[in-house]
């Protein structure tokens, strides 16, 4: 087993910082069920090195750490070994960097400019970062008993923003309690509840049960109710799509050859002739109908985003 394989194996022995949000059921990218399936060996962890976004994040880590150190006139060091909480060994930390001579750590993030603009990022110097990252830093502070963690975000490849997360005892207690609850599921080999509405659940189930054994089984009675829900929802979707198509056709009929149709509230529909090129798809043309919100509605949306 090489060093990388050994490191990956050690990560399976506990909850890491990047696992914290999923263990608490607060991650957009992974459910507690998926994390449990990975920790119990039922599901092979995804090879994140194959995900381009994450691969570039790993490549940028050294650059971000170096620039953070230069700007703050500090020295940073790697800590290659995984650190376990002395009292709660299931809490593990594989940190990006530690600040030499200070009880402070550094998390490095490579952030897409659009994701930063429309995401959960606040002003530099605050702790307003996406929940997954906030919990990750609190997890590290709890595991290492550090009072502060910095998150350096390289935004759009050319701007470094630094966020300061201070340890909060209540958050540490909450993390210990809820991560312990999750780890009990791992140790008892008992699955946590599956979040059926999570965006990743279908893909996880298809990965876990990727084949077919040819068997025919009798489904339990309660599945009949979910079957009815599925059919009813599909019927509603059809009706709404039909209503949307009918409304669209009403608008197209009234607009005829007009390029722009203005609504009473100032919103606009636009008709545009779109031509496709031969080398992309078979040559042809179609009418594209677009909609622009009235200025008051757009201003309201911008105020919501700013808040």
Q: State the DSSP string of 240-292.
A: HHHHHHHHHHHHHHHHTT-SEEE-TTS-EEEEEEEEE-TTTSSSEEEEEEEEE
Residue 285's SS3 state is: strand
Res. 183: pLDDT tops 90: yes
Helix (H, G, I), strand (E, B) or coil at 74: coil
Asked if 232 and 104 sit in the same domain, the reply is no
Is there a single domain that holds both residue 250 and residue 295? Answer: no
Q: What is the DSSP letter of 46?
A: P
Residues 46 and 185 in one domain: yes
pLDDT band per the 50, 70, 90 thresholds, residue 56: confident
Q: With cut-offs at 50, 70 and 90, classify the pLDDT of residue 60.
A: very high
Q: Tell me: do 54 and 20 sit in the same domain.
A: yes
Judge if 112 and 238 occupy the same domain.
no
Write down the pTM of the prediction.
Answer: 0.78
143 and 288 share a domain? Answer: no
- pLDDT reported for residue 57: 78
Give CA–CA dist 126/198, Å, rounded.
29
pLDDT value for 58: 84
Point out which residues pair with 161 in neighbouring strands.
Answer: 153
Report the mean per-residue pLDDT for the chain: 89
Long-range CB pairs of 3-7 (<8 Å, 24+ gap) are: 7/80, 7/82, 7/94
| The total number of structural domains that make up the chain | 3
Q: What is the pLDDT of residue 280?
A: 53
- Secondary structure E strands in 68-141: 76-77, 83-84, 92-93, 97-99, 104-111
Q: Do both 238 and 298 map to the same domain?
A: no
Percent of the chain with pLDDT over 70: 86
pLDDT at site 211: 83
| Residue that wins the pLDDT comparison between 1 and 221 | 221
Note down the domain range covering 303.
257-307
Cα 174 to Cα 168: distance, rounded to the nearest angstrom: 10
Mean pLDDT over 14-18 rounds to 96
CA distance 267 to 31: 40
Q: Is 216 within a domain?
A: no
Residue 154 has pLDDT above 70, yes or no: yes
129: its two tokens: 């970062």
Are residues 31 and 176 located together in one domain of the fold? yes
Residues 234, 133 share a domain: no
Predicted pLDDT of residue 118: 86
What is the pLDDT at residue 2? 61
Residue 53 belongs to some domain of the structure: yes
Distance CA 60, CA 192 (A): 35
Q: Please report where in the chains the tokens 């669209």 appear, as a residue.
A: 248
């Amino acid at each position: 087993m090489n060093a990388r394989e050994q490191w990956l194996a050690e990560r399976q022995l506990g909850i890491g910082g990047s696992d914290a949000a999923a263990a608490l059921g607060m991650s957009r990218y992974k459910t507690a069920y998926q994390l449990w399936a990975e920790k119990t060996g039922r599901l092979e962890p995804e090879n994140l090195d194959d995900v381009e976004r994450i691969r570039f994040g790993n490549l940028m880590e050294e650059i971000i750490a170096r620039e953070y150190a230069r700007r703050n006139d500090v020295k940073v060091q790697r800590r290659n070994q995984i650190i376990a909480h002395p009292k709660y060994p299931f809490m593990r930390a594989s940190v990006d960097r530690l600040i030499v001579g200070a009880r402070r750590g550094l998390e490095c993030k490579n952030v897409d400019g659009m994701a930063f603009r429309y995401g959960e990022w606040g002003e530099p110097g605050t702790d307003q970062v996406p929940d997954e990252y906030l919990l990750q830093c609190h997890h590290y502070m709890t595991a290492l008993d550090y009072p502060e963690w910095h998150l350096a975000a390289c935004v759009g490849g050319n701007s470094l923003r630094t966020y300061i997360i201070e340890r909060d005892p209540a958050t540490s207690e909450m993390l210990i309690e809820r991560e312990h609850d999750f780890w009990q599921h791992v140790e008892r080999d008992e699955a946590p509840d599956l979040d059926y509405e999570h965006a990743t659940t279908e893909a996880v189930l298809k990965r876990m049960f990727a084949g077919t054994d040819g068997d025919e089984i009798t489904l339990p009675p309660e599945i009949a109710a979910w079957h009815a829900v599925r059919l009813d929802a599909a019927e509603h979707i059809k009706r709404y799509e039909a209503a949307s198509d009918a409304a669209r056709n009403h608008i197209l009929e009234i607009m005829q050859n007009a390029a722009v149709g203005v609504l009473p509230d100032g919103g606009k529909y636009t008709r545009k002739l779109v031509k496709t090129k031969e080398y992309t798809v078979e040559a042809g043309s179609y009418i594209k109908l677009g909609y622009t919100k009235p200025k008051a509605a757009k201003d309201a949306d911008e105020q919501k985003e700013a808040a």
